Chains A and B, each alone.
Chain A
Amino acid sequence: MISNTKEVKARDFEISRSAEEKRELLYKDDICIGCGICEKTCPVDAIELGSIGAIVRTDADVPKIVCDDDKCVLCGMCSVVCPVDALEFKIDDEDIKNMEEYPSLISSAEINDETCVYCKACETACPREAITIARNLPERSKLVTGEIEIDKETCIDCGICEEMCPADAITMEHKLPTSDDPTVSSDIIVDKDKCVYCLICKKSCPVDAIKAACRSCSYGEYDLNPEDAETTGASFIDQETCVNCGWCQEICPVDAATVVKPFEGELSVDQEKCQACGACVDICPCNVLSFPASSASGMRPEKVMSDENYCIYCGACENVCPVKAIEVKRTDIKHTPTKSKSWDKKMESLKT
């Protein structure tokens, strides 16, 4: 008799069936956002969404969804509708996302390295920590040039220049004087890679032992090679953790990030019903919801605020709200076409 096998690893699971072909469903709990779209889509009611509010907020060691392997027929629908790749479905080791006959949600997040100035705003803003910006800063010594020389005969080893230098470019070898060498420093060194030729050392030296000149200041920028001033780097988006929320696109100062969201819709919060418990704020994978800063300590926060620019209309907040104050409507679903009527119908049924 044909039956499924289930393997459970911590909070993840794997359900498979091998006969004419090998079908596998893999669930990764750390990627799941608790939207429950899989539960609503499953044609055989095999998936059950857990008490995600409690699970996420109290860090309970319980999976966000459970799947009954006796009911699951391994059709793959849950994987296709999952907005965040928490459910992977493979037939004979090939992901159905790469198969033409299966529909798939259209979503993407990209950073154009041509335009990117590597300011790292997206890295900081990304609610899923999916973005890494690796940048190489220009060499400081190439951006400002000049000359500096310390007359060690005149120098009295006072250390004022060392303390004053804003670039930490001057180091003295302090020591105790001995009868053999009755000085307080054995040497004074200027690191010309660090020196910015600001001339503070020269101006503050009590004995005028420092001669320095800044070429950039006196002669403008004639010797500045524009390439030397450039910050180079690379951007990387972890597609597995990315939820295509649009934070990077909204925050990018040079429009280098482009995000395509799979759903369009509306998010509404009933301020009358909201009790400001914060469950939605904690569950939202996109940092759409927040409380305004509290006016005074001990005050209950104001009602919850939302910014739909970052909303993916997944509905996790609606699932978790204990007083049904949130409504998430999905008005459009972007997906690749399929010839199957039942699949097309399921995809359309994601609209609410």
Chain B
Amino acid sequence: MEMELKVNQDNCLGCGVCVVACPVNASISNEVAGGHGSKTTETIMMVENGFIKLFSPEKCTKCGTCQLFCPTDAIWLE
């Protein structure tokens, strides 16, 4: 029973905490983990036009870190 990464842009503040917290993102791009990387679609998710957007959800290992950090339940696994 594999879980899936979901986002709800209606809840998203565009704060980008999930992008920075995600350990997979960090291993893909250190700059993204530092919060000052240029836009890349290689990472699982990025903030685009003020909202979170999934780019490579297939890279997600379902560790739940993004959900733990998201202040508004805009990103979660189910």
Contact = CB atoms under 8 A, between A and B. Distances in A.
Give yes or no for direct A-B contact (beta carbon below 8 Å).
Answer: yes
6 contacts: A51-B62, A273-B27, A277-B23, A277-B65, A279-B63, A323-B61
A190 interface: no
A320 interface: yes
A57 B63 contact: yes
Given A58-B77, A62-B3, A66-B1, A53 B64 contact: yes
Contact of B67 (A54, A273, A321): A54
B77 A279 contact: no
Contacts of B1: 48, 50, 62-63, 66
A127 interface: no
Contacts of B61: 53, 321-323
Interface string A210-223: 00000000000000
Given A58-B77, A66-B1, A275 B67 contact: no
B26 interface: yes
Contact of B24 (A62, A276, A322): A322
Interface string B21-49: 11110110000010000000000000000
- Is the contact region of chain B dominated by helix, strand, or loop, or is it mixed? mixed
- Is the contact region of chain A dominated by helix, strand, or loop, or is it mixed? loop
Contacts of A51: 2-3, 62, 64, 77
Given A53-B63, A279-B63, A323-B23, 17 more contacts: A51-B2, A51-B64, A51-B77, A57-B63, A57-B64, A58-B67, A58-B68, A58-B76, A58-B77, A60-B3, A66-B1, A273-B27, A277-B23, A277-B63, A277-B65, A279-B65, A323-B24
Given A50-B3, A53-B62, A60 B23 contact: no
Contacts of B78: 60
A54 B62 CA distance: 5
Nearest to A49: B1
A255 B77 CA distance: 45
Interface size for chain A: under 10, 10 to 19, 20 to 34, or 35 or more residues?
20 to 34
Contacts of B62: 51, 53-54
A277 B21 contact: yes
A276 B69 CA distance: 13
Contact of B63 (A54, A60, A63): A54
A200 to B, nearest CB: 53
Contacts of A62: 1, 3
Nearest to A277: B23
Interface in A33-89: 48, 50-51, 53-58, 60, 62-63, 66
B28 to A, nearest CB: 9
Which of B26, B27, B62 is packed against the most chain A CB atoms within 10 Å? B62
A315 interface: no
A103 interface: no
Contacts of B77: 51, 54, 58, 60
A262 interface: no
Which of A53, A56, A58, A321 is packed against the most chain B CB atoms within 10 Å? A58
B64 A275 contact: no
A213 to B, nearest CB: 63
Interface string A265-284: 00000000101111100000
A239 B37 CA distance: 50
B76 to A, nearest CB: 7
B16 to A, nearest CB: 15
A68 to B, nearest CB: 11
A55 B78 CA distance: 9
